[in-house]
Structure 1
Amino acid sequence: MAAEELNRTAKVTGQGIYDISQSLQKIRAEQIERKPKLKTHQVLELYKTDHLLWTWRIYNMILGFEHLKSSEVGNHHECRLGRWVDSQDAAQCRLLPAFKQLEAPHKQVHELAREAAVAYEQGNITKAEQILERMSQASAEVVQILNELQQQC
């Protein structure tokens, strides 16, 4: 009985945290739209947050809070970071070694997100959790590279 109550409380708390994070994400999106032109350091900070939030979305999918289909997971060229990497705006960073190291882990984040969503759709939560762990490591690598680019660009 106590375990059931604890489980119920944990789910309600988790849902509350998820709901608050969704509200904060809406505020974040509105603020990004209001800012006309960001400097390189600022956009790189934005991209770091984007990828941390993407990992958070997959985590919430596994918990059952986020409803995400594998078909909704884009590739590494479609996200905000990917569009920047492919654009002229990234020209000043393109020749840096860190920039060249970015593609592999960035691509991996998106591929693993899709794999986790597929595993979740198939009801294989354990596999989705294992994929999320690998995705988190790739995401951390993306963030580390973006930190280097912030210092160099």
Structure 2
Amino acid sequence: QEAEKEIRDVTSLMQDISNHLVQQRQAAGEIAQSLEGIAQTSSKDSEAISALLDVSEKGGAQLTEMLNDLAALELRNKVAHLAKSDHMVWRRRLAEMLVGRAKLNPNELADHHSCRLGKWYDAVSDERYKNHPAFKALVAPHAEVHKHGIEAARLFNDGNFDAAVDAIAKIEKPSLEVQRLLDELTTL
């Protein structure tokens, strides 16, 4: 009976996390759309990003707490689920940088080998993953997400707001591809 209760608790936690990830994904999409629009106008439009970040932050603290709980559990495909959330948080932090809510040092930002997903990817020995097309395809878009994010932080810190916005907008396509590939890998 205790095992059944633990399974129900984990299932409930996973459902809550899934719901929050859907909300965060929607917020990230809204942020990306806003960034594309801002890239076409000027740096004076950062208020639009700020308003969207308010929406995104609404569930951010609760999601972070649940993800920390998830990280402590031994679950199948845990890293893939956590990595999906990590990448949404990464995109949100970049948007927060644009409106002055976060300071990011490009020299301190993780490359695609140093984040949770990269460390997992580089250490995988399970042939189910290594031979899966989604796993093999993950490296390129994952590297692009980090490359453009680090570039955005560098440009922003150099005072080139518009170019930083453009760099962040370039993250959208590879980030969606990373999310899609991770979705495939969570089915293994």
In which range does the TM-score fall when normalised by the shorter chain?
Answer: 0.7 to 0.9
Q: For residues 22 and 150 of structure 1, what CA distance do their matches in structure 2 show? A: 22
* 2:130 aligned counterpart, secondary structure: coil
Deviation at 1:91, TM superposition (A): 3.8
> Which among 168, 177, 186 is matched to residue 141 of structure 1?
177
Name the counterpart of 2:61: 23
Aligned ranges 1:93-112 → 2 under 5 Å: 93-112=129-148
Name the counterpart of 1:4: none
One-letter amino acid of the structure 2 residue matched with residue 39 of structure 1 = R
Flag the 1:91–1:114 CA change in 2: closer, same or farther, 3 A: same
Name the counterpart of 1:39: 76
- String of CA shifts for 1:88-146, please: whole Å, max 9, x gaps: 35542110111111100001111111100001101111111111111122111111111
One-letter amino acid of the structure 2 residue matched with residue 34 of structure 1 = A
**Equivalent residues of 1:15, 1:65 under 8 A apart:** no
Deviation at 1:14, TM superposition (A): 6.6
Deviation at 1:21, TM superposition (A): 5.6
**Equivalent residues of 1:105, 1:138 under 8 A apart:** yes
How many aligned residue pairs are there? 143
Name the counterpart of 1:114: 150
One-letter amino acid of the structure 2 residue matched with residue 139 of structure 1 = S
> Are 1:75 and 2:106 matched, yes or no?
no
Q: Give the TM-score normalised by the residue count of structure 1.
A: 0.79
Moved more, 25-34 or 103-112: 25-34
Q: Identify unmatched segments of 5+ residues in structure 2.
A: 1-44
One-letter amino acid of the structure 2 residue matched with residue 108 of structure 1 = E
Flag the 1:65–1:14 CA change in 2: closer, same or farther, 3 A: farther
Quick one: percent identity of the two aligned structures?
30
Deviation at 1:57, TM superposition (A): 0.8
Q: For residues 25 and 117 of structure 1, what CA distance do their matches in structure 2 show? A: 25
* 2:112 aligned counterpart, secondary structure: coil
Deviation at 1:87, TM superposition (A): 1.3
Q: For residues 174 and 53 of structure 2, what CA distance do their matches in structure 1 show? A: 26
Flag the 1:31–1:16 CA change in 2: closer, same or farther, 3 A: same
**Equivalent residues of 2:135, 2:181 under 8 A apart:** yes
Deviation at 1:19, TM superposition (A): 6.2
* 1:92 aligned counterpart, secondary structure: helix
**Equivalent residues of 1:18, 1:60 under 8 A apart:** no
Report which structure shows greater RCO (CA 8 Å, sep ≥6): 1
* CA RMSD across the alignment: 2.6
One-letter amino acid of the structure 1 residue matched with residue 123 of structure 2 = S
